[in-house]
Amino acid sequence: MPVEITWWGHATCTVEDSGTRVLTDPLFARRLAHLRRRRGGTPPPDAARADVVLVSHLHADHLHLPSLARLAPGTRVLVPRGAGRSVPGLRRLRGLEITEVEPGSRVEAGGLAIRAVPAAHDGRRLPVGPRRAPALGYVISGEARTYFAGDTGLFDEMAEAVGEVDVALLPVGGWGPGLGPHHLDPARAAEALARIGPRSAVPVHYGTYWPIGMDAVRPHEFHTSGEEFVRQAALRAPQVAVHCLAHGESVRPEVAR
């Protein structure tokens, strides 16, 4: 069965591989604090259907408790080591099978092997507190090897940590007019492609949420990150097929046989 990837917006994707349905960083809210969903409708109920869920780090737009509460009882959820201490609300999601992982952890899920890999990002639950948890990416191995980067900047060991993959789901923007050093903008994401060398890539983490009242502040940061990533990838990693999806759109990327 071909591998299929659906982008629901922000960092939320469904990866269907080997009869197993993986959901990344589920965020189904129309509004989160000062952020409003400006593009793409709220994902349909079927978007919350998953065999395993991957949470990359503890920021509220990646570990969103109301969205996790929509998962079916018994769903397995992988979270960074220390998440249970840092986010007490996780303990109230009693119907879910929550597993804490760290870089190097390997988990079997259905027909897949999932490996947690490091990310260069501040993974703490904000506001800043004394407890820390690592930010993670994940490599999903089945018919394809799919890298979900979560939120990350470039780091020297990226290619070695990720290894050989077929598909990369890379963040190329954010939710406001400016990115810190531990993020990927379109140019840095294209550099990540050049380092990792997947066959295909899907840009994520852009063009979905934006601060209320800031529509006129650097609007290109919201609207054009995906297209700019396509342009930058053509320059820096022309061998990679980039699939710039609309919200709710799916793709079956080419994988090595």
Model confidence over 142-161: pLDDT tens digits? 999 999 999 999 999 999 99
pLDDT of the residue at 130: 47
Token pair 């129309």 is found at 30
**Percentage of residues of the chain with pLDDT beyond 90:** 83
- Judge whether 171 and 185 are in contact, CB under 8 Å: no
For the record, the structure tokens of 188 come out as: 């840095």
pLDDT of the residue at 178: 78
Sheet (strand 145-148) strand order: 106-109, 112-118, 136-141, 145-148, 167-171, 200-204, 241-242
E strands in the chain: 4-9, 12-17, 20-24, 31-32, 35-37, 52-54, 76-80, 97-101, 106-109, 112-118, 136-141, 145-148, 167-171, 200-204, 209-211, 241-242, 250-251
- Judge whether 14 and 27 are in contact, CB under 8 Å: no
Q: Give bridge partners of residue 21 from the DSSP assignment.
A: 16
Q: Is the pLDDT of residue 83 over 50?
A: yes
pLDDT digits (tens, 9 = 90+) for 52-63: 999 999 999 999
Highest mean pLDDT among 45-49, 175-179, 253-257: 45-49
> How far does CA 34 lie from the centroid of its chain?
21
For the record, the structure tokens of 243 come out as: 């699939």
Q: Give bridge partners of residue 96 from the DSSP assignment.
A: none
pLDDT of the residue at 229: 98
The whole-angstrom separation of Cα 56 and Cα 54 is: 6
Residues in CB range of 127: below 8 A, 6 or more apart: none
The answer to whether the peptide bond before residue 127 is cis (omega within 30 degrees of 0) is yes
In this prediction the pTM is 0.96
Q: At 6, is the secondary structure helix, strand, or coil?
A: strand
pLDDT of the residue at 1: 63
Token pair 């939710």 is found at 175
CA nearest neighbour of 13 among 45, 41, 50: 50
pLDDT digits (tens, 9 = 90+) for 2-47: 899 999 999 999 999 999 999 999 999 999 999 999 999 999 999 9
Q: Is the pLDDT of residue 76 over 70?
A: yes
Is the four-CA dihedral 28, 247, 166, 3 of positive or negative sign?
positive
